[in-house]
């Protein structure tokens, strides 16, 4: 018997085809003209040998509460009742002995596109209802921008995808300058899933409309060939210097819009003094910029001339702010767009994330509701930490740190409860994290597969995949709300997170607070009806739950007019002020100046990252490692699938580098290499590529962290570049991750570990 069930993954909506009770293939959603190839690997994800089959406890912890978590430990399988008793007992013990602040509710989403069975929401709700826990603020994707942008433009909404939409761009823009590129592979995925993949179609529409493209990136591969874009190769982490050089060229030829700066911006004069050199004696000219970014001064001046008087869109990838001093390129892009006077005009201004994720700039009612699971209130919410400071949290209990104008203290964590996400993929300096991971008394993990995080846990509870439960899917960047029907029975002994937490909450006396008296079916109706009510308030009529559930999807109708970022502000800045202290765009911020941070001054500036090709350490590690998103999986999900294996070179993750850099090291395509720095070493396969700028080494993330032994700095065998990335905040203001500020050296490796 063949059955079909509507479903949703972060890489797209699909129909799950089930034959005799087995999920055999994912058929793309009929309305998706450009479905992701990752859909084809979905059955492998469900039936993988790497699935966690039964509750398991690390033997050393079970026998003697040993904390030495090496990733090579033996696990003992136990029954569910014993496992739940152990977990409930540990949570209760830590709360009683060390208070709620000793529990860290670790989770980083991406485990499921469903909004009810969203692991990060469920673990927070469980811990909050039981008394609270230390939480995380922000995210690794755009966490720097989230805390920085409100000081400059009053909101971080533009980095979430709420930017001038593609209809406005196609109708009005003449030139798109993409810092960090527009790679189609990144638009395969979206948090919360997507009913359709639209970036390629939007770019083709833009190209057909005569829009010209300039892509500024260390690799030409960051732009699809059909754009025929001008590629400007740039040294990694130097985009701010390039933009300063462009700005200086505009200033020198009176090509900036002084009327716009006077009416809509705060603090132009101090920045102008910095730009011209009046403040420090150093003019930020194109010639000055060339020595930093490697782009010829003549090319910088030519780009300034192309931008002058033209309706342009400056779009920046999220990756630019995932670097040391990551606040600066975003601040400088806003300033450059202000100098051009295009902010608030149709098709003009700035944007973030077009090349980073699906859904950015998709025409959609910005006020329309998306399904969401309520978390409840964290009774100790003031104890949250920036998401990328997990290692410091574990290393330094009681230690002080600066964050967004406040001085804070790390709590003393005794128990880590992680459900959803794989920190041994997405965090930086993984060997350092592994050492810090030894400190908590207990680490509890819910997982579908034996990831590195599961292997470094004490208690592992097997979780269901999305195919094994009912759910509701939809994202704020997408126009579809998808019914997710359970397609197959849970495999092995897997249980969904809600069922697990319900049992635990019952044991610990807060089941009613956790469930609010609702089971899975009741929660799905509740979430859907809240979404339906929210959309009704803006004139969008959703069908009743049962009608929607039977059909499988609902499409939010497109808006009646194009959305232009800051259009109302431009029309009347007094009636529609920004939520900044001045009500205007803050080119110079008195508030930031008041923080007194030398690593984030009062206006956009060139601040050399701790690691870049101009740093002293480049003498020892002369290649800048650029870690990008993979095209064959979502982060680390699916690293074991055939699709992912097919992208490897002789079974290894490729590291792409300029042919001159490869020749200088005697490397040919496919050679096994050791990529290393002071933080560790990983194995990879060399791949000379003329479309990579000299001095850069480009490697996709997503390989499962696989240390060769139990030592403190082992060789990592699968090729996870986050082993080599520094674990430090972008600045004391935002404390975002600095994953893209890493220098390495590469050498031939004769023997595989």
Pairing mode of beta strands 12-19, 2-9: antiparallel
Laid out side by side, the sheet with 230-233 consists of 230-233, 212-217, 175-179, 312-316, 349-352
Matching residue, tokens 């029975």: 489
Helix, strand, coil % in the chain, rounded to nearest 5: 35, 20, 45
DSSP bridge pairs for 447? 462
Taking residue 22's Cβ as centre, other Cβ atoms within 10 Å add up to: 12
108 in catalytic set: yes
Q: How far apart are CA 331 and CA 106, in angstroms?
A: 30
Query: Are 355 and 186 within 8 A, CB to CB?
Result: yes
Total count of residues recorded for the chain: 753
Query: Are 702 and 718 within 8 A, CB to CB?
Result: no
Q: 560: which residues sit within 8 A by CB, 6+ positions away?
A: none
Q: How far apart are CA 389 and CA 373, in angstroms?
A: 26
The separation between the first and the last C-alpha atoms of the chain, rounded to the nearest angstrom, is 47
Nearest CA-CA partner of 441 in 72, 85, 88, 90:
90
Taking residue 302's Cβ as centre, other Cβ atoms within 10 Å add up to: 15
DSSP bridge pairs for 418? 106, 445
**Options 11, 47, 80, 108, the catalytic residue:** 108
φ, ψ at 157 (rounded to 5°): -55, -40
Q: What are the tokens at 39?
A: 């859909």
Matching residue, tokens 């591969």: 221
Coil, helix or strand for 308?
coil
Q: What are the tokens at 413?
A: 């964590």
Coil, helix or strand for 327?
helix
**Options 11, 61, 110, 401, the catalytic residue:** 110
Q: 561: which residues sit within 8 A by CB, 6+ positions away?
A: none
Q: How far apart are CA 658 and CA 673, in angstroms?
A: 15
Q: How far apart are CA 51 and CA 478, in angstroms?
A: 30
Q: 113: which residues sit within 8 A by CB, 6+ positions away?
A: 8, 9, 10, 191, 192, 193, 466, 473, 475, 484
| CA angle centred on 490, ends 488 and 495, rounded to 5° | 145
| CA angle centred on 196, ends 191 and 202, rounded to 5° | 105
110 in catalytic set: yes
Positions marked catalytic: 108, 110
């Amino acid at each position: 018997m063949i059955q079909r069930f509507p479903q949703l993954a972060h890489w797209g909506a699909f129909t799950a085809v089930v034959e005799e009770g087995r999920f055999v293939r994912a058929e793309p959603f009929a309305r998706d003209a450009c479905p992701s190839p990752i859909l084809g690997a979905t059955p492998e994800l469900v039936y993988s040998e790497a699935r966690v089959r039964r509750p398991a406890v690390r033997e050393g912890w079970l026998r003697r509460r040993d904390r030495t978590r090496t990733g090579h430990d033996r696990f003992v399988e136990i029954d569910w009742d014993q496992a739940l008793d152990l977990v409930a007992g540990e949570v209760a013990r830590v709360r009683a002995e060390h208070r709620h602040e000793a529990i860290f509710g670790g989770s980083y989403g991406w485990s499921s596109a469903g909004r009810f069975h969203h692991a990060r929401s469920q673990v927070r709700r469980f811990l909050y209802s039981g008394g609270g826990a230390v939480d995380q603020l922000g995210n690794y994707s755009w966490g720097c921008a989230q805390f920085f942008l409100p000081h400059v433009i009053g909101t971080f909404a533009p980095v979430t995808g709420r930017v001038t939409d593609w209809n406005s761009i196609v109708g009005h823009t003449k030139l798109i300058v993409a810092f960090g590129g527009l790679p189609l592979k990144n638009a395969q995925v979206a948090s919360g899933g997507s009913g359709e993949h639209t970036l390629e179609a939007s770019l083709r529409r833009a190209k057909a409309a005569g829009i010209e493209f300039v892509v500024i990136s260390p690799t030409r591969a960051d732009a699809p060939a059909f754009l025929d874009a001008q590629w400007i190769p740039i040294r990694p982490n130097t985009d701010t210097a390039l933009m300063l050089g462009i700005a200086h060229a505009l200033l020198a030829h009176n090509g900036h819009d002084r009327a716009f700066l006077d009416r809509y911006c705060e603090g132009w004069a101090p920045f102008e003094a910095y730009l011209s050199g009046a403040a420090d004696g150093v003019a930020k000219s194109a010639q000055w910029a060339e020595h930093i970014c490697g782009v010829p001064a003549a090319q910088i001046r030519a780009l300034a001339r192309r931008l002058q008087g033209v309706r342009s869109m400056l779009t920046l990838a999220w990756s630019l702010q995932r670097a040391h001093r990551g606040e600066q390129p975003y601040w400088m892009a806003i300033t450059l767009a202000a100098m051009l006077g295009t902010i608030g005009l149709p098709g003009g201004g700035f944007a973030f994330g077009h090349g980073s994720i699906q859904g950015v700039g998709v025409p959609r009612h910005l006020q329309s509701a998306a399904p969401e699971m309520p978390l409840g209130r964290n009774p100790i919410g003031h104890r949250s930490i920036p998401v990328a400071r997990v290692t410091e949290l574990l290393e330094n209990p009681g230690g002080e740190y600066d964050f967004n104008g406040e001085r804070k203290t790390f709590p003393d964590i005794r128990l880590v409860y992680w459900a959803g996400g794989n920190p041994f993929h997405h965090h930086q300096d993984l060997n350092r994290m592994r050492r810090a991971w030894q400190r908590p008394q207990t680490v509890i993990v819910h997982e579908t597969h034996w990831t590195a995080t599961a292997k470094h846990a004490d208690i592992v509870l097997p979780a269901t995949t999305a195919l094994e439960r009912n759910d509701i899917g939809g994202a704020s960047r997408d126009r579809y709300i998808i019914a997710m029907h359970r397609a197959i029975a849970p495999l092995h002994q897997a249980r969904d997170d809600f069922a697990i937490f319900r049992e635990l909450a019952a044991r610990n006396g807060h089941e009613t607070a956790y469930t609010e008296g609702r089971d899975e079916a009741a929660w799905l109706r509740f979430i859907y009806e809240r979404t339906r009510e929210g959309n009704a308030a803006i004139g969008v009529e959703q069908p009743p739950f049962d009608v929607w559930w039977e059909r499988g999807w609902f499409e939010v109708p497109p808006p009646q007019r194009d959305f232009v970022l800051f259009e109302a502000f431009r029309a009347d800045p007094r009636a529609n002020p920004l939520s900044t202290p001045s009500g205007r765009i803050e080119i110079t911020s008195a508030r930031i100046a008041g923080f007194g941070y030398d690593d984030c001054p009062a206006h956009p500036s060139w601040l050399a990252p701790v690691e870049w090709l101009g740093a002293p350490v480049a003498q020892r590690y002369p290649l800048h490692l650029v870690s990008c998103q993979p095209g064959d999986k979502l982060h680390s999900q699916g690293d074991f699938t055939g699709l992912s294996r097919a992208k490897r070179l002789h079974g290894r993750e490729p590291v792409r580098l300029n042919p001159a850099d490869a020749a200088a090291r005697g490397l040919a395509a496919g050679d096994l290499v050791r990529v290393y720095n002071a933080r560790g070493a990983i194995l990879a396969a060399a791949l000379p590529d003329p479309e990579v700028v000299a001095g850069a080494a480009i490697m996709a993330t997503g390989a499962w962290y696989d240390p060769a032994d139990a030592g403190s700095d082992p060789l990592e065998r699968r090729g996870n570049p986050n082993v080599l990335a520094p674990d430090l905040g972008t600045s004391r203001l935002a404390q975002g991750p600095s994953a893209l500020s890493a220098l390495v050296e590469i050498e031939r490796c004769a023997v595989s570990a």
